[in-house]
Amino acid sequence: MSQSEIETAIQRAFDGSLSTEDCLRLRNILKSDPTARALYFEHAALHQLLIYRLSRSTPLDAARSLTDTRLKLQTRRSARTALAVAAAIVLLLGITLMRLLAPEPAVLATFETDTGARFTLQHPDSDPPPPSSNEIHEGTRILLDQGTLEVKIRKGSRAVILAPAILRIDSDTHMTLDQGTAWFEIGKDAAGFEVNTPQLSVTDLGTRFGVLALPDANHEIHVFSGKVIARGRSGTMTEETLTTGMARLCDPIGRLKTTPLRPELFLSLLPQHHGSELIINGGFENGNPPPPSTYGPRANAAFLPGWRFGNEIIVMRATTEGIPGYGEKSTTILSSTKDTQVGFSQDSHGPPPNQDNVSIYQTFATEPGQTYQVQFEMGAIFFSPSTLKISASVHQGATPSGPTLASHTEQRSHADGNGYNPPATLMFTATSHTSTLLFTESSESSVSADPVIDNISVTEIP
């Protein structure tokens, strides 16, 4: 800014008409330029004097009448009021200057997200960075509802967080993970980095490790290289030094118990997606590949990045014997792409279980008034007569509980045999800037039979 621009900005600051952007520019100038600060104080004094003078009453004739006396008393009161106002203004100007000259909060970390991630930043101060900022300051809380977040922390540390997650960056050597799945690589200059969950405390001694802090489950630490100190945060508060290849869970009374090391539960890099995709990871290939298993392991965030899912969703690519497909041994089914499939395993008689347990959903960006087509493949595998059903629905907004925009139920019966139906479609017109696609098993019974889906896509209709 030129001298005249600085003076104009100072005047507008006192008038209350200075924009946020110009206020930040003025603050930076006042920090570095003594001449500008002197000009600021000069205008502050002038501003105070004008308010004081304008607030004073003008005395009339000096005649010693009752009216004159009353006027003098009023003038004295006005003067006292003006002085009080002036003192308040001086205090306010001092606070304003302190605010302008206050150091900006240090940036502890920066972050990146995968395409389709949905998150909220909660800042401890009243002036958070603009929405486009990827900076994390001390005390910043992150609520990651969908997708994957990579945090690069000062001193060379890095973390990859999978949704759903709630975390806070307390310092460049401390993080609070209230909920989530997190993989860490700690820099050499950050030895002693600490991660706290509600159940578990982990102190790094130079390592790569993963922390699981999932709701309604024991929290876990998995050490992939190096060494950590793990300690329960309640009850017995058991403490143990763990080295490469070791893993522990923390039970409800604070004891550390041995559990298998499971690197497949974590991601060390952001998943890569095509920018043209509206639904992320619609083919279920962008996460860690599930290990061979008869009827597949339970879904986790690293298997299905981008999706939210219930606890009866399973993910499968090959049987225990390594045979590609969903099923067991030679009884398997394959989608058109012959790769990873998602199964719904309610396995019950009578009324279906809690629908949240047999559901998978994702929120994505839409344009109000635009029409879209959803396409997916549904298959089934049978060992007893039944009819299996998958209900697909699109909902307004960012949750599957929003108003329904469109729905379709795809089914396959035992008479059709094991295999996949032709691709199913449904169309909807968006009514908001976000929509949520939900798949739920709606079979009356699926004992000894499982429905599966694969190759989900959403495209705009011209």
Average pLDDT over all residues of the chain: 85
What is the model's pLDDT at position 63?
A: 39
What does the alpha-carbon distance between residue 105 and residue 127 come to, in Å, rounded to a whole number?
10
**Each residue's pLDDT tens digit, 222-266:** 999 999 999 999 999 999 999 999 999 999 999 999 999 999 999
- All CATH 2.60.120.1440 domain ranges in the chain, comma separated: 107-265
What is the model's pLDDT at position 105?
A: 57
Torsion of CA 59, 63, 65, 66, to 10 degrees: 10
What is the model's pLDDT at position 117?
A: 94
What does the alpha-carbon distance between residue 162 and residue 145 come to, in Å, rounded to a whole number?
9
Instruction: For helices 66-101 and 34-55, give the axis angle rounded to 10 degrees.
Output: 160
Q: Are 222 and 209 in contact (CB under 8 A)?
A: yes
Check residue 229 and give left, alpha or beta (phi > 0: left; psi -120 to 50: alpha): beta
What is the model's pLDDT at position 123?
A: 81
Q: Are 458 and 374 in contact (CB under 8 A)?
A: yes
Report residue 346's pLDDT band, with 50, 70 and 90 as the boundaries: low
Question: For residues 319-332, b (16+ Cβ closer than 10 Å) or e, as one string?
Answer: beeeeebbbbeeeb
Among the residue ranges 126-130, 172-176, 363-367, 427-431, the one predicted with the least confidence is 126-130
- All CATH 2.60.120.260 domain ranges in the chain, comma separated: 308-460
| Residue found by looking up tokens 């209230």 in the block | 178
**Mean pLDDT on 44-73:** 49
What is the model's pLDDT at position 67?
A: 45
Topology (CATH level 3) of domain 308-460:
Jelly Rolls (2.60.120)
Report residue 73's pLDDT band, with 50, 70 and 90 as the boundaries: very low
What is the model's pLDDT at position 322?
A: 94
Does the pLDDT value for residue 96 go beyond 70?
Answer: no
Does the pLDDT value for residue 395 go beyond 80?
Answer: yes
Structure tokens at 40: 């600021």
62: which residues sit within 8 A by CB, 6+ positions away? 68
What is the model's pLDDT at position 102?
A: 46
Instruction: Please report how many Cα atoms fall inside a 13 Å half-sphere around the Cα of residue 124, on the Cβ side.
Output: 11
Among the residue ranges 62-76, 302-316, 418-432, the one predicted with the least confidence is 62-76
Topology (CATH level 3) of domain 107-265:
Jelly Rolls (2.60.120)
Q: Which residue has the higher pLDDT, 389 or 105?
A: 389
What is the model's pLDDT at position 108?
A: 87
Check residue 116 and give left, alpha or beta (phi > 0: left; psi -120 to 50: alpha): left
**Mean pLDDT on 397-419:** 97
Q: Which residue has the higher pLDDT, 31 or 185?
A: 185
Report residue 16's pLDDT band, with 50, 70 and 90 as the boundaries: confident
What is the model's pLDDT at position 277?
A: 85
Closest CA to 409 of 425, 389, 438: 389
- The amino acid that residue 355 corresponds to is Q
What is the model's pLDDT at position 91?
A: 53
Number of H helices, E strands in the chain: 4, 26
What is the model's pLDDT at position 70?
A: 46
What is the model's pLDDT at position 84?
A: 52
What is the model's pLDDT at position 87?
A: 52
Closest CA to 156 of 108, 197, 113, 123: 108
Longest dimension (CA), the chain: 116
- Measured over the CA atoms of residue 235, residue 239, residue 240 and residue 241, the dihedral's sign is positive
Backbone angles phi, psi at 379, to 5 degrees: -130, 180
Q: Give pTM, 2 decimals.
A: 0.76
Beta-bridged to residue 180, according to DSSP, are: 213
Q: What percent of the chain has pLDDT over 90?
A: 63
Structure tokens at 332: 């398997």
What is the model's pLDDT at position 34?
A: 74
What is the model's pLDDT at position 57?
A: 44
**Mean pLDDT on 412-424:** 97
Report residue 104's pLDDT band, with 50, 70 and 90 as the boundaries: low
Among the residue ranges 2-6, 214-218, 371-375, the one predicted with the least confidence is 2-6
Q: How many CB atoms lie within 10 A of CB 134?
A: 14
Q: Which residue has the higher pLDDT, 45 or 266?
A: 266
Q: Which residue has the higher pLDDT, 348 or 373?
A: 373
Report residue 144's pLDDT band, with 50, 70 and 90 as the boundaries: very high
What is the model's pLDDT at position 65?
A: 44
What does the alpha-carbon distance between residue 355 and residue 133 come to, in Å, rounded to a whole number?
38
Q: Which residue has the higher pLDDT, 123 or 300?
A: 300
What is the model's pLDDT at position 294?
A: 92
The DSSP result for 208-248, as a single string, is EEEEEE-TTS--EEEEEEEEEEEEESSTT--EEEEETT-EE
- Measured over the CA atoms of residue 128, residue 130, residue 131 and residue 132, the dihedral's sign is negative
Cα-based angle 462, 392, 308 (whole degrees, multiple of 5): 100
Q: SS3 for 100?
A: helix
Does the pLDDT value for residue 49 go beyond 90?
Answer: no
Structure tokens at 439: 């798949």
